[in-house]
Each structure stands twice: as structure tokens, then as C-alpha cells.
A and B are shown apart, each in its own frame.
Chain A
Amino acid sequence: SQKIEQNSEALNIQEGKTATLTCNYTNYSPAYLQWYRQDPGRGPVFLLLIRENEKEKRKERLKVTFDTTLKQSLFHITASQPADSATYLCALRGGGSYIPTFGRGTSLIVHP
């Protein structure tokens, strides 16, 4: 069956360090993958999209990689700040599918 897996355990890091979050998937051939940020009780906010033919995408302190061989995307936040503390969701669209599928998210906690 199709699955998207994100670490269920919270990631705790110190301010200034790089946070790396993982999104693994099985039985998908995604055309693209998106990352969203969600704060408690609020709707997800889009951060980055990466397509199947792209290896890496950057936006300010954010970087996403996409390895279709490993079936994995990594999401990096450099020089992390306490304000980056939130849950980060990955979402993908399988080839030929109109249905968005989200991972359950990983909570990031950045300590001052």
C-alpha cells in the first residue's frame, strides 16, 4: 500500500543549528513533493515545492532535496531560530493522481 512516513518523534535542536527533517514514501511515483509548516490549531502554510526532475530547491534558509531512487525528501532549515518551532508536513501527488496525500508531520522544537 502507499505510505508517507515522517518521524513521529519531535526533533529538538539548539538555536543556530541546522534542522533536517525526513519524508520517506513507498509505492508512489510522485510527480512532485511539497513541504508545509503548521502551527498548533492553525492551517498548514506552503513552504516549498520540488518536482521529480529536480534534485534540490532552496528558499532563504530552507533547502529541500528529492531522491526518487531512495524515495526520500529531506527538508533542511539552516541557522534555526525558536520561531521555526512548528510541525512540518510533506505532501505528495502520485503520478496521474489528483489526490493530495500528506504525511503526519514532524514536530521541530528549537531551543534558545
Chain B
Amino acid sequence: DSGVTQTPKHLITATGQRVTLRCSPRSGDLSVYWYQQSLDQGLQFLIQYYNGEERAKGNILERFSAQQFPDLHSELNLSSLELGDSALYFCASSVGGWDRGETQYFGPGTRLLVL
């Protein structure tokens, strides 16, 4: 158990819908990262927050947005869902930032299926 929690574990929804994925980092970690993992793309970095502020952005679609709240939990919002958005979504946390080479602790993931 990494100490990172993600809810829900599974999500089935229809195209065009909007969903929210939630992540609670390990106690004491200030950074939260979001990743998308699909069979054909591997693990793709989406976005990072550090202590409530956006720190880095990867290939995150405009239909996706995220935020980190004062209690450091984070939410990833996916809207106007398409079939191709079906994937595993992971959240990870670390004490500081990726720039320091810090270990990222990954959550169990949310499996999203868009029908």
C-alpha cells in the first residue's frame, strides 16, 4: 500500500459525459501528479500540482482539467468524454517535485471505460 488513495476504482460512463476522479496523496506529500495509461500509449504524464499550484503540464487535453485543494487532495475532471479516453488513470504523490528526483508513490488507479 503506497498511502495514495484514488476513488472510484472503476467508472463506466457514456460518450459526452463528464466525470471527476479523486486522489488523496500520502500524508506530508505536497506534489500530486496525474497520469493516463492506455495499452497503445503507455504511461502518459498529464499534469502536476505542488502545494496547490500547477507546476508542470504534459499532454493534457483541453477537455481535461485538474486542481489541488488546500487539504492537498486533487481532482481530475474529464469532460465531453470520447471512446479513446478509456484508460487507467493514476495519481502519484511525492514530498517535493520531480525536479529533485524524488520518488513518486502511485495510487491504485481508476479504470475508466467510456461506452
Any A CB within 8 A of the CB of B58: yes
CA distance A99 to B107 in the complex (A): 19
User: Is B43 within 8 A of A89, CB to CB?
Assistant: yes
Cβ distance A91 to chain B, nearest Cβ, rounded Å: 8
Q: Assess A98 versus B103: contact at CB under 8 Å? Given A89-B43, A105-B42.
A: no
Contact residues on A (Cβ < 8 Å of other chain), bracket: 20 to 34
Q: Assess A93 versus B98: contact at CB under 8 Å? Given A43-B2, A99-B45, A99-B58.
A: yes
B48: chain A residues at CB < 8 Å are: 98
Q: Among the listed B90, B97, B101, B111, which residue makes an inter-chain contact with A32, where contact means beta carbons less than 8 Å apart?
A: B101
User: Is A102 within 8 A of B45, CB to CB?
Assistant: yes
Give how many A-B residue pairs fall within 8 Å (CB-CB).
62
CA distance A105 to B57 in the complex (A): 22
Cβ distance A107 to chain B, nearest Cβ, rounded Å: 13
CA distance A99 to B82 in the complex (A): 25
Any B CB within 8 A of the CB of A112: no
Interface string of B39-69 (1 = CB under 8 A from A): 0001111001000000111100000000000
B98: chain A residues at CB < 8 Å are: 93, 98-100
Any B CB within 8 A of the CB of A81: no
User: Is B109 within 8 A of A42, CB to CB?
Assistant: yes
Any B CB within 8 A of the CB of A71: no
User: Is B103 within 8 A of A49, CB to CB?
Assistant: yes
B58: chain A residues at CB < 8 Å are: 99
Cβ distance B102 to chain A, nearest Cβ, rounded Å: 9
Considering the complex, give the chain B residue whose CB is closest to the CB of A43: B106
User: Is B42 within 8 A of A43, CB to CB?
Assistant: no
Q: Assess A46 versus B42: contact at CB under 8 Å? Given A99-B98, A100-B98.
A: no
Q: Among the listed B33, B97, B105, B109, which residue makes an inter-chain contact with A41, where contact means beta carbons less than 8 Å apart?
A: B109
Within 8 A of A (CB), among B71-115: 88, 90, 92, 97-99, 101, 103-109, 111
Listed in ascending order, the chain A residues whose CB lies under 8 Å from chain B are 31-32, 34, 41-46, 49, 51, 89, 93, 97-105
